[in-house]
Amino acid sequence: MSESPPRFPATRCADCGHLYGHEAYICRECGSETFAEAPLDGTGTVYARTTIRVPGSDQQGEEPFEVAVVDVGGEETVRVTARLEENPELGPDDPVEFVDRRDGVFYFRAA
Amino acid sequence: MNDVCVVGTGTTEFGVREEGIVELGVTAVGRALRSCDVDREDVDALYLGNFVAGMLEGQETLAPLVADSVGLVGVPTMKTEGACASSGIAFRQAYQAIRTGIHDVVVVTGVERMTSAETSEFTRALGSAADHGTDGATGLTFPGFYGLVLDRYMHEYGATREQVAAVSVKNRRNGASNPRARFRSPVTVEDVVDSRLVADPLRLYDCCPAADGAAAVVLASADVADSYTDAPIPVLGSGHATGRSAAYRYDDLTTLEATTLAAEEAYDEANISPSDVDVVELHDCFSAAEIGDSEDLGFFEKGEGAAAVAEGRTAVDGELPINPSGGLLAKGHPVGATGIGQIYEVCLQLLGEHENQVDGAEVGLAHNLGGSGAVSTVTVLGGPSRV
């Protein structure tokens, strides 16, 4: 990919600076309820991956699809549970990049 | 602090059952009461673990309904819920109530009815144990969570699919001689690795089956246990801990801290180390889970669990028999009943009455786990000579 991927929409605790991938309701570190947007570099790495072939009721008909735990952010990373756009070959330590967030779900693809 | 003993046990068979949920619970509780000399007026409270009766059966208020149906009039009751650890938590609450002197005799039961539900309702109900805002939104299922765990485990430790399959082979072999098990037929490594993929790298035979069933125990203060049975089983230690709420919350997906923390608490209280344990019933909802659990409970070094099961070290005649009952993989997993079901199996071992008896079992451990490693209970039990 020659273009850099979209920024990843992380958030940061406004009080202690702790970084979050999935939104927190309250900061685990300091208890603050105030968060600020903190976009990160959209490049990441797969930590673990599975392919869902027997989905739950909300994903009937979408199978098979890949779900992964991904570390994203460049210098400073956050770990998120995400979908991988069709690439069953991806696995631990493979590079990925952020695509977008749809219906609250982060999507990544092979970098 | 009072010492606590199991003085009575009862169970239904696990599998596809016709009875309603209250009847299942009443049957197990009735059998537990009949197994000992506890009169109904001796019982101070009843605690019941259940996960999805509200969603699947439209039936709540289970604890008082079961209590009233067995003739326990007026006693306090409550339902505990922690997904697959629901009745492990019920046991823990009863144990603490006796330990602190609040109660002398408490009935604990776990009950679940699952097999008659429509598949879509069933998956939705089970999915309620995941965090809907994060893991759940991606479509990650329970097999999917353990698929991630196994993917990482194999990557880090070089375990093979065949080694992992050995868990299912062992537990199905054990279940074949357990009349309480849903699956009574053995499988081979080839059967497991050729079965259809469910959540890569997990396949169908890596997954425990749903089941209906109930199990119950009667717990009593050690001071009065002798008046109820000739063979009280002392509870040597108990642990209960919270872990991580979703897959992304783990720094290391191959270690479920709920288990390590609960185990540490139970070992400390029992004043034993993992090497003192003679027989184990642990939470093998998936083959990969048994391997991780066996390491998290301190029986094997990180990364050694897969080779250990493949080498037969956890067979009934091995150095540390794990899941001689057949575990969840063969007995089935009636979610809310599983925790007490495991304790029932360990008690049989410590009484020397199990179909797959471990020779000379003096110390047994039961490990129950709920959600994506969200909650765990660990119970250490001793033979009657250890009261």
B168-182 confidence digits (pLDDT tens): 999 999 999 999 999
pLDDT in tens, B145-155: 999 999 999 99
Contacts of B55 (CB under 8 A, 6+ apart): B121, B124, B125, B128
Does residue A86 surpass a pLDDT of 80? no
Strand partners, B378: B239, B367
Percentage of residues in chain B having pLDDT higher than 90: 97
Q: How far is CA B303 from CA A64, B159, B160, B267, in A?
A: 29, 8, 11, 22
Does residue B51 surpass a pLDDT of 60? yes
Check if the beta carbon of residue A80 is closer than 8 Å to that of residue B248: yes
Does residue A90 surpass a pLDDT of 70? yes
Cβ separation A53–B149 shorter than 8 A: no
The pLDDT-based confidence of A88 (bands split at 50, 70, 90) is: confident
Which residue from B199, B247, B249 is facing A53, i.e. has the nearest CB? B199
Mean pLDDT rounded to a whole number for chain B: 97
Does residue B346 surpass a pLDDT of 60? yes
Task: Check residue B16 and report its DSSP letter.
Answer: S
Query: Tokens for B332?
Result: 């089935």
pLDDT number for residue A2: 54
A82 has a chain B CB within 8 A of its CB: yes
Cβ separation A79–B248 shorter than 8 A: yes
Percentage of residues in chain B having pLDDT higher than 70: 100
Candidates B315, B245, B283; CA nearest to B85 is B283
Percentage of residues in chain A having pLDDT higher than 90: 88
pLDDT in tens, B308-327: 999 999 999 999 999 999 99
**Looking at residues B302-309, what average pLDDT do you find?**
98
pLDDT number for residue B2: 97
Does residue B384 surpass a pLDDT of 60? yes
Q: Is B84 known to be catalytic?
A: yes
Cβ separation B148–A68 shorter than 8 A: yes
**Looking at residues A71-88, what average pLDDT do you find?**
93
Lowest mean pLDDT among A1-5, B173-177, B189-193, B331-335: A1-5
Residue B25 region, left (φ>0) first, then alpha (ψ -120 to 50), else beta?
alpha
Does residue B46 surpass a pLDDT of 70? yes
Residue B297 CB neighbour total at 10 angstroms: 27
Catalytic residue (choose from B103, B240, B283, B333): B333
Residues of A in contact with B135 (CB under 8 A): 81
pLDDT number for residue B131: 95
Pick the residue from chain A with its C-alpha nearest to B146: A50
Supply the pTM of this predicted model.
0.98
CA–CA dist A107, A87 (Å, integer): 12
DSSP B263-294: HHHHHHHHT--GGG--EEE---SBHHHHHHHH
pLDDT in tens, B207-250: 999 999 999 999 999 999 999 999 999 999 999 999 999 999 99
- Give the closest-approach CA distance of A62 to chain B in angstroms: 9
Residues of B in contact with A91 (CB under 8 A): 151, 155
Pick the residue from chain A with its C-alpha nearest to B202: A50
Q: Is B333 known to be catalytic?
A: yes
Does residue A1 surpass a pLDDT of 70? no
pLDDT number for residue B170: 98
